[in-house]
Amino acid sequence: MKAWFLSLICAVLLLMIAFVQAAEFEISGGTTQLSFGGSNEHKKETLTQTFKVKNNIPTTDTISLRALTKIVSAKNDFRDTNVLISASPDTIAGGQESTITVTVKPEDFDIVDTDLKKRGIVEIATLAIEAEKINTSENNAVLGKVTTTPITLKLELKNDLDLISVEYQREEGSFSSISADSTITITVDEDIDLKFKVKNTFESSSGIEFENINIKIESTDLDIEKTTTISEILAGAQAEKTTTVSADDTGSGEVKVSVTGDDKFGGKHGEVFIFNFNVEEAEEEEEEPVDENDADGDGVPDNRDECLNTVSVCDVDAVGCPVDSDTDGTCDALDPTPRPVTRQSNDEIDTSSGNEGDCWLFCTD
């Protein structure tokens, strides 16, 4: 019982001390939080905000506050070393104020969470200001320390890795755009080209490039998993990447495209794009029926034979007609002079054609 009572007394005393300290040294203007950045604010090396603190000790006393320092409790993977302060003036007389400039360094702060959803407004830390209490009439003798009540620091930044478009191309086709949540019909084992256009939306003057851009395509339903990369995208620039995927079984399923990249400070940006594949069996091509009939035995089926009664000794062309080089009506195999002859203007035979001995109309010994 005594132990419980003593604990209660100690707690009350601590609260009273904290109340007295807060009364002596407080944050002016009712400020309870500082917000840095915004939904359309690009990441920068530093972001700043200000607030005021006040020495509430009466001016009739010779008590001043000096050596203002920060007490930071970081949250959500932010580092307390990335919260900096400066005070002007650094020594506050009774009844006076000092302006505190707070600088945060986002550095490797991730803009998206592990699911690549924009984090929005993130509470990164609480901040209190501590000061030494001195008696200026006694050679600045230190009387102790006082601390303000803490305020909340919040940060929100823009996602600057933008997946501009996703396109697909089927075999022997052209690229077509894919809308979010749309369905594309393909066939089993068909190679589908996917083309991605990704942009770095940091202003070109910022010099903030993206590195290690990963594009992951996955579908649990269709057993698809493919990753491709882009090494770098400069500020204000865009890049394209094409890769090929296929599904080895029929069915329908969601396809998730995850795009991530690191800014030059190490912070992660990215987004997710969802569409669907409907996978069908490929249609079998109907083969032209084979006609086994070949009435004249020339090797050309009757359904393609334009000369159905070719003499068996005659060679035939692709459509089953006798080869007749000089078009005299007698196939080359039966024609003693199969090559064509040429008549000269003097009605003599051109013996250079190899048709020596050919007769015209009548032949005499």
The per-residue pLDDT for 338 is 80
Residue 70 phi/psi, 5-degree rounding, is -95, 150
Measured CA to CA in angstroms, residue 338 lies from 41, 258, 306, 307, 309 at distances of 90, 74, 22, 20, 21
Torsion (CA) 116, 214, 162, 120 in degrees, nearest 10:
20
Query: In this model, does residue 13 exceed pLDDT 80?
Result: no
Q: What pLDDT was estimated at residue 7?
A: 54
- The lowest-confidence range among 56-70, 74-88, 267-281, 343-357 is 343-357
By the 10 Å C-beta count (0-12 exposed, 13-18 middle, 19+ buried), 321 is classed as middle
Distances (CA, A) of 5 to 12, 18, 250, 305: 11, 20, 74, 116
- Of the chain, the percentage scoring pLDDT greater than 90 comes to 68
Range of lowest pLDDT (141-145, 151-155, 177-181, 329-333): 329-333
The CATH class of 14-156 is mainly beta
Nearest to 198 by CA among 154, 231, 176: 231
Task: Report the distance separating Cα 306 and Cα 285, nearest Å.
Answer: 27
Domain edges within the chain: 14-156, 161-280, 292-336
Q: Phi and psi for 28 in degrees, rounded to 5?
A: -80, 160
- Work out the number of other CB atoms within 10 angstroms of the CB of residue 302: 13
Q: Report how far residue 205's alpha carbon sits from residue 202's, in angstroms, rounded to the nearest whole number.
A: 8
The mean per-residue pLDDT over the stretch 147-165 comes to 97
3-state secondary structure of 291: coil
Task: Give pLDDT, residue 341.
Answer: 59
- Return the pLDDT at 286: 64
What pLDDT shows up at residue 307?
A: 85
Q: Is the pLDDT of residue 259 over 80?
A: yes
Q: Rounded to whole angstroms, how far apart are CA atoms 71 and 47?
A: 19
Amino acid occupying residue 119? R
Q: Which two tokens stand for residue 272?
A: 């997710």
Give the pLDDT confidence of 173-231 residue by residue, as tens digits. Answer: 899 999 999 999 999 999 999 999 999 999 999 999 999 999 999 999 999 999 999 99
Q: Could you say which DSSP state residue 361 is in?
A: S
Q: Which residue has the higher pLDDT, 304 or 212?
A: 212
The two domains 14-156 and 161-280 share their CATH topology (first three levels equal): yes
> Between 235 and 171, where is the model more confident?
235
332 vs 245, higher pLDDT: 245
> Which CATH topology does 161-280 take?
Immunoglobulin-like (2.60.40)
Q: Quick one: tokens of 81?
A: 């070393």
**Across all residues in the chain, what is the average pLDDT?**
86
Task: Give phi and psi for 20, each to the nearest 5.
Answer: -65, -45
pLDDT given for residue 180 in this prediction: 97
Residue 356 has pLDDT above 90, yes or no: no
Q: How many whole angstroms separate alpha carbon 73 and alpha carbon 57?
A: 27
What integer is the mean pLDDT of 314-331?
A: 80
